Structure 1
Amino acid sequence: MNSYIIEQCPPLYIDRLVRRSSIRFSPIDMVSVIFLAWILNSVDAFNDFPSLISANASMAVVIEKSFFDNKADYRDVVRNIYNFIANITREEIHMADIDIHVFRDTKIDNFRDYTVLLSVATCHQTWSLHNIARKDEIVHLAITEQDCPRLPDSEGVSVPLISPGKELSQIFFDIRMADALLWNNVNILHDDTFDRDVVDRVIKAISISLPNKRFNLVSRSLFAFTHGDSKRKRRYYIKEILQNFHVDRLGKCFVVIVTIDAATDIMEAAKMLNMVQPDSQWLYIITETVIGNSTNITTFIDLLSEGSNVAFIYNATDSNTYCNNNLMCHIQELIVALATALKLSLMTEIELYNDVSDEEFEIVRLNKRERHREILKHIKIKLVQDTFVTGGTCGRCLFWRFASAITWGNFFARGKNNAYLIDSGSWFPTLGVNLTDVIFPHIAHGFRGINLPIATYHNPPWQIISLTNSGEKKYSGLVFDVVKYLGKKMNFTYSVLSSESNRTIKFTRNKTKIDMVLTSTTREMPPAIIDMVIGKRVLLAVCAYTVNNCGKNKINFTIPIFMQTYSFLTAKPGQLSRALLFTAPFAKETWACLAASIIIMGPTLYLIHKYSPCSTKISGLNSSWQCIWYVYGALLQQGNMYLPHFDSARWLIAIWWLVVMVLVATYSGSLVAFLTFPNMDTAILTLDALLANKNRLTWGFPNNSYLEEYLKNAEEEKYHILLKQAIIHNATQEMEIIEKVKAGKHALIDWKSTLRFLMRSDMLTTGGCYFSLSTDEFMDEPIAMIIAQDSPYINIINAELHRMHESGLMNKWVTEQIPTKDKCSDIFANQGVNERKVNVADMQGIFFVLFMGVTGSIFLLCCEFYWHKRQVAKRRKLIQPFLS
């Protein structure tokens, strides 16, 4: 039993214990060592997988019989694999063996106890085995049939057996497995030099869903053209197909499988028909085998247009190179790579084992998943070395290269074609696709971080040029907010070119407050800016410019970055006169009804009192005039010492008192409210209200305004009236116009943002709010940037600008540069909330009535004296009888 334990115990464990001991072992000590080694081996068994030090690597070999044409080939392959693995182990590893288990059946539930799985099977069976191997975290080395998706790079290595000349479909399988092309639609163009089988297999490689991959392809289209006997005929067929191509319905992704001469013709036709744009992708598959074809590929550079996305996959196979593409060659290559990987992994574990204690080693050593990754990494490194360094022979005769065109932004400032090609990858049967860059660099990385020139000039708040403390120019403003984000999304930096006329501007250092501008300054553009755009010296002019028809044959506009709405500015409504504030609680009709009630109630009370059957003479009710004063006194809640004696008159007086109570209570409550809350004049907030006040108010807008053209072409009559009576303002009239608006004599029509900025600037200057901004927005003026007429980047720039609008970034930047809310905006909401005291101005009306009452009383007193004196004089003239 003890000898068995010693035999099974890992030699390195015992060797390590002996080397660490400085004493000589006795037989008892030897038993202790053996017992300790057995304990360590038992501990190792509790780990998820044994170390390569304590156990040999194990390999499961699964060879599908149906993969071979006859049983003899199957038996030979099994025998050769077993013998080759044993030989390689002895030659390469030297330290340990690989335990091999050959499965005669492919129906296997798990590979839990194995380190590596080597399979030779059909594509379907390979992926079935891989799903089992992936769950058990083992390295899967697979040799399979042609046109089979490769295993993921992080999970295994698969090598399809490819016949020379039929590798094109496998290349597309490998491209898709590497997620190098994520197209939703594809258009395939080829000539009639390819047989039907090649085209069908390529379509299948592009169209079918792949294991563990999301299927994104929505549509595919196939176009074939006649190669023709002559170049002229071939060009005619190509042009006819491309002219009738419906890009909007079929998409802008193209795969062109042609020879070199046909590729040239297609590139020329597509360029002439303007089908090669930054939002399109053209992948040319050059199938001809040409030695030293880099020279031929570079000839395509002259056919590349600015902003195009073009890539080439070309056959770089050297037919003079020895090529061994049989099954045993690939098996030997994989086994050698595996042996090297196991050797490196074992050496790493030995070094770790010698540096730490036994307990620490069991904690820090690689688990099964980590060892899987390490072995797979070393296998791939070995395969790459065999392919590129040592010149391996398996599948060496099949070699394809990838080249990508770099075209974006190469033409600015130099004015000539500076496009070039970069090597973006390669393809081998063993390694599959090995990409050093993306196939379409501009689709993934935009302008690839290059510096592009842009043009601008000082025009706040759109473009602001200021100086820092160090004297350097600083660029900000609404349009630069857009361009900074555009550069981030499209991956470019920029350098600013200012117009020559802009050099005379006096910039302030760290300028924070923008000068107040009355007129809209986007209708004019410095000629130098226009010339730079037309001459293609800049990507675009970073300037706010009103979209118009002038110069559209020379320049182009982006989609509007901002929409400026027109509104108008009037004087802030003031408080109405409070001279007659005491009359405000009741309307004129109410006062009229109240006066009529007093006049009617007096005679009515007199008649009811007089004609009552039991009527008696009561002082104070003996005439209509006395009854009117009686009713008036009751209204003012002044009592009277005389009351009617009968129910009819008393009932009338009772009803009048009830009416008086309601009237007095209502008047008192309303009067308090009118004293507390100021009564404001009606604000002019709509265009209809402005036109309704045309007799007391004028209006106008800046000269050369976009509004003028809009009003001329408008159909509604009110816009014609607005234009007919408008006053055109010049830039020199700014202060005069502002004072007229403050005085309430004029209304200024301009952009709402400009008017709001004017209000804010005036508030900062004067500390008060003197303007009222209308709520009526009756026209939009589109503001955009300008770009060259034939610039290929207009569509992708517009797409990014559209996404900025959808995400709300444009509104955010406008709010930051031109605040929509300030203390003047809320003045009408807050003005009635604050507590206030009743002053003399509020009560001046009642004192005026008191003055009128005193004056009237004195006047009547004089009249009475005059009347009395006249009556006395008249009586003196009469002879009065004397009675004793």
Structure 2
Amino acid sequence: MATGIELIISTICNATFCEPVYDNPVLESHTSSNLHQYRDLIKELNGKHLKIGTYNNRPFSWVERGENGTLIGNGVSFVLVDILQKRFNFTYEVVVPQKNFEMGGAKPEDSLIGLVNNGQVDMAAAFLPKLTRFHEKVSFSYDLDEGIWVMMLKRPKESAAGSGLLAPFNSAVWYLILVAVLSYGPCITLLTKLRSRLVPDGEKYIPMSPSFWFVYGAFIKQGTNLAPDANTTRVLFTTWWIFIILLSAFYTANLTAFLTLSKFTLDIENPQDLYKKNYRWVSAEGGAVQYVVSSPNEVLYYLSRMISTGRAEFRSMTSLYDYLPLVNGGAVLVEERVGIDELMYGDYLRKAREGVAETDRCTYVIAPNFFMKKLRGFAYPKNSKLTGVFDSVLSYVLQAGIVDFLEHRDLPSTKICPLDLQSKDRQLLNSDLLMTYMIMFTGLAAAIAVFIGEVIVKRYIIKDSKSNKLKRKKTKFQKNPRFYNYDDSRPPPYDSIFGRSPKIKVNAATKTKIINGREYLVIDAANGDTRLIPVRTPSAFLYRLDR
């Protein structure tokens, strides 16, 4: 049994240039005849010249032209090719498709899969997704990684949570609250009217208008002049008050949390949002996204309807940076996660060199949920002998974590421009108080409309005629009958409590008297009573003095 150090050395040697040493699982899995055939393939591959196809897909693969005009492959794919080259001692030349497509085009030379399918290259050194349509044309290598396609969009200035005043509750809660406010008033009127008929104790029912204003007043924590005596009505009032108290407590707590620890949210969070909200989005032409969306067997096939309406576009660009003008114009870019990370990181560094403020460098943001996931690997022609030979080495490289390291070696360890920038201060914006402005203007408009309605109704529809007023007749038991028509909710008139003050004549002989430090006029009334009238106090104006 090999030790741990021996296993590490065996892994490195099997993936590079050493002969099989210690225990080799790949060789042990072969039978004696297959092992002989495997060794023959290694000898046949020794010194052979291969044509390796690739395409521009940073950071996994891209091509540069050398001094003598030859194409030089770069990226993670060609680091793996160099490992295979040292292990099996072959030479190669790089071939690229004419249109930088993964699949498709008018002729096979337009795409990488077309080159492999027609045998124009011996293998494709690129991270190609293992789609069903690709399996029909080529053979794939050992799984190198799982590609994650994400959605990148321009960072919005405001959170999709909306106005600060509406943030504590979602739309469904606000609608239910509105229904409760509009329906509870009629419920009070209905139940009190039903009670007044079934329980004839003299208490009248509460009409619709007072019920509505009680519900509305309690909703904004105002008092009421209604004083029901019946227990049924009191329970109705108490129920509504308890509901408002709890609702206000939840709203206040959530509003405080939103304004202090607000989480930034996007309008686009998953592929369904692209379709439901009809967002314009773009991706690479001839890529995996185009064929996944166009395939009826895929889950994302429903997005193909957006292609016919022009809301989804597939464009061929030489670099991901060419998509930025479209993203700045409001489009959503759908691409592989590592490529998007390098794009955002490069844009961040460029703005840092230009002296852009720290808070303005993260122009773009990635949606929290992925667009799709697909396993990826190298591609070979059907029935190619290279598959089994190269997979034995690629499996060791993958298990050692080399592929994952190569993919992220040029990226920082921290998350690039996260959704929540974790700003230390949270200042209120106009967007947070937008609802207050709307309420103010809506209230003013409603008051003006009610005022106009009252003027029209009272001046032109209801004609006040003196002839229609009831004339009260005097009786022989009343010399000066008085009728006081006033609202019970207001303080009663002074005369209704103390009676009408007799006419009091004040002359130079009128005496003054100080009682408890306050000056009073001592007046002899016509009926023989003596009155004390405070002098130079507000209550003195209640008396009518005839000078």
- Normalising TM by the smaller chain, what interval? 0.5 to 0.7
**Corresponding position: 1:715 with 2:297:** yes
Provide the residue aligned with 2:364 in structure 1: 769
Secondary structure at 1:754's aligned position in 2?
A: helix
The answer for the alignment partner of 1:705 in structure 2 is 287
| Residue equivalent to 1:848 | 438
The aligned counterpart of 2:401 is 808
Structure 2 residue 427 is matched with structure 1 residue 827: no
Counterpart mapping for 1:529-608 below 5 A:
543-544=125-126, 546=128, 559-560=141-142, 562-563=144-145, 565=147, 567-569=149-151, 571=153, 574-578=159-163, 581=166, 584=169, 586-601=173-188, 604=191
1:671 Cα deviation from its structure 2 partner: 3.3
**How do residues 125-140 of structure 1 correspond to structure 2 at under 5 angstroms?**
none
Pick from 765, 772, 782: which aligns with 2:377? 782
Distance 1:808 1:747, change over 3 A: same
Task: State the Cα deviation string for residues 233-285 of structure 1 (Å, max 9, x = none).
Answer: xxxxxxxxxxxxxx9644467xxxxxxxxxxxxxxxxxxxxxx65626xxxxx
Equivalent residue number for residue 517 of structure 2: none
Alignment of 1:397-546 (within 5 A): 409=46, 411=47, 459=56, 460-463=58-61, 477-486=75-84, 490=87, 543-544=125-126, 546=128
Amino acid at match of 1:729: F
Task: Say whether the 8 Å CA contact 1:756–1:773 is kept in structure 2.
Answer: no
Q: Which runs of 5+ in 1 are unaligned?
A: 1-179, 185-218, 220-246, 254-275, 281-305, 309-406, 414-452, 503-516
Q: For 2:367, what is the secondary structure of its paired residue?
A: strand
Deviation of the 1:561 alpha carbon? 6.8
Does structure 1 conserve the Cα–Cα contact (< 8 Å) formed by 2:139 and 2:381? yes
Q: % of aligned pairs identical?
A: 14
2:278 alignment counterpart: 696
| 1:596 Cα deviation after fit | 1.1
Report what 1:434 is aligned to: none
**Separation in 2, partners of 1:580, 1:183:** 70
- Measured after TM superposition, the shift of residue 776 of structure 1 is 3.9
Rate the CA distance shift 1:678–1:803 in 2: closer, same or farther, 3 A: closer
Asked if 1:660 is matched to 2:250, the reply is no
- Deviation at residue 774 of structure 1 after TM alignment: 4.3
After TM superposition, give the deviation of residue 683 of structure 1 in Å: 2.8
Partner deviation per Cα, 1:801-821 (whole Å, 9 max, x = no partner): 122123332222222256796
Structure 1 residues 595 and 578 mapped into 2: Cα distance closer, same or farther (>3 Å)? same
Aligned match of 1:158: none
Corresponding residue number in structure 2 for 1:839: 429
* Counterpart selection for 1:279 from 22, 35, 39: 39
Q: Is the 8 A contact 1:566 1:777 kept in 2?
A: yes
Distance 1:739-1:597 versus aligned 2 partners, 3 A rule: farther
Determine the C-alpha separation between the residues in 1 that align with 2:200 and 2:382.
106
Conserved in 2, the CA contact under 8 Å of 1:279 and 1:796?
A: no
Aligned CA RMSD, in angstroms, stands at 5.8
What aligned pairs does 1:227-266 form with structure 2 within 5 A after superposition? 249-251=31-33
> Contact 1:566/1:749 (CA < 8 Å) preserved in 2?
no
Matches within 5 A, 1:193-212: none
Shift of 1:588: 0.3
Contact 2:265 2:419 in 1 (8 A): no
Residue 836 of structure 1: CA displacement?
1.8
CA distance change for structure 1 residues 624 and 797 in 2, over 3 Å: closer, same or farther?
A: closer
> Structure 1 599/858 Cα, relative in aligned 2: closer, same or farther at 3 Å?
same
**1:592 Cα shift?**
0.5
Going from structure 1 to structure 2, the CA distance change for 1:278 and 1:645 (only over 3 Å counts) comes to: closer
The amino acid across from 1:848 in the alignment is M
The alignment partner of 1:639 has SS state of coil
* Whole-Å separation in 2 of the counterparts to 1:183 and 1:577: 64
Report if the CA contact (8 A) 2:63-2:73 is conserved.
Answer: yes
- In structure 1, the residue matched to 2:10 is none
Q: Residues 698-723 of structure 1: CA distance to partner in whole angstroms, max 9, x if unpaired? A: 5554333355566666535x555445
- Do the aligned partners of residues 455 and 525 (structure 1) sit closer, same or farther apart at CA in structure 2, a change above 3 Å counting? farther
Post-superposition Cα deviations, 1:41-85, rounded to whole Å, max 9, x if no partner, equal xxxxxxxxxxxxxxxxxxxxxxxxxxxxxxxxxxxxxxxxxxxxx
Per the alignment, residue 626 of structure 1 pairs with 210
Give 1:368's aligned residue: none
The residue number in structure 1 matching 2:223 is 639
Kindly provide the CA deviation profile for residues 305-357 of structure 1, in whole angstroms up to 9, marking residues without a partner as x.
x854xxxxxxxxxxxxxxxxxxxxxxxxxxxxxxxxxxxxxxxxxxxxxxxxx
1:683 aligns with 2:268: yes
Residues 624 and 751 of structure 1, relative CA distance in 2, 3 Å threshold = closer
Distance 2:127 2:264 in 1: 44
Alpha-carbon distance in structure 1 between the residues aligned to 2:81 and 2:382: 16
Please point out which of 727, 730, 733 is paired with 2:315.
730
Cα distance change on mapping 1:458 and 1:842 into 2, 3 Å: closer
Measure the CA separation in 1 of the matches of 2:132 and 2:450.
Answer: 79
Q: Are 2:365 and 2:419, in contact at CA under 8 Å, matched by a contact in 1?
A: no
On the 8 A contact 1:699/1:748 being kept in 2, the answer is yes
In structure 2, distance between residues paired with 1:869 and 1:251? 110
Task: Report deviation, 1:794.
Answer: 6.2
Secondary structure in structure 2 of the residue aligned to 1:827: coil
Partner of 2:253: 669
Question: 1:206-257: CA deviations, max 9, x gaps?
Answer: xxxxxxxxxxxxx9xxxxxxxxxxxxxxxxxxxxxxxxxxx9644467xxxx
CA shift at 1:579, angstroms? 8.1
Q: CA deviation at 1:778?
A: 4.8
Q: Please name the residue that 1:67 is paired with.
A: none
Any idea what the Cα deviations from partners look like across 1:431-454, whole Å, max 9, x if unmatched?
xxxxxxxxxxxxxxxxxxxxxx99
Q: Distance in 2 between matches of 1:483 and 1:876?
A: 106
Count, aligned residues:
418
d(CA) in 1 for partners of 2:329, 2:434: 25
Structure 2 runs not aligned, ≥5 long:
1-18, 352-360, 475-547
Equivalent position of 2:491 in the other structure:
none
- C-alpha distance in structure 1 between counterparts of 2:111 and 2:458, whole Å: 92
- 8 Å contact kept, 1:456–1:496: no
Q: How does 1:32-181 map to 2 (within 5 A)?
A: none
> 1:239: which partner in 2?
none
The CA distance in 1 between the partners of 2:267 and 2:324, in whole Å, is 21
Cα displacement (A) at 1:631: 4.4
- Structure 1 residue matching 2:406: 3-state secondary structure: helix
For 2:286 and 2:341, how far apart are their aligned partners in 1?
21
In the alignment, the residues of structure 2 paired with residue 778 and residue 685 of structure 1 have an alpha-carbon distance, to the nearest angstrom, of 13
**2:39 maps to amino acid:** D
What is the alpha-carbon distance in structure 2 between the residues aligned to residue 495 and residue 486 of structure 1?
10
Does the aligned pair in 2 maintain the 1:634–1:657 contact within 8 Å? yes
Partners of 2:34 and 2:469 lie apart in 1 by 129
Query: Does the CA-based 8 Å contact 1:483-1:542 persist in structure 2?
Result: no
Cα pair 1:685 1:775 within 8 Å, conserved: yes
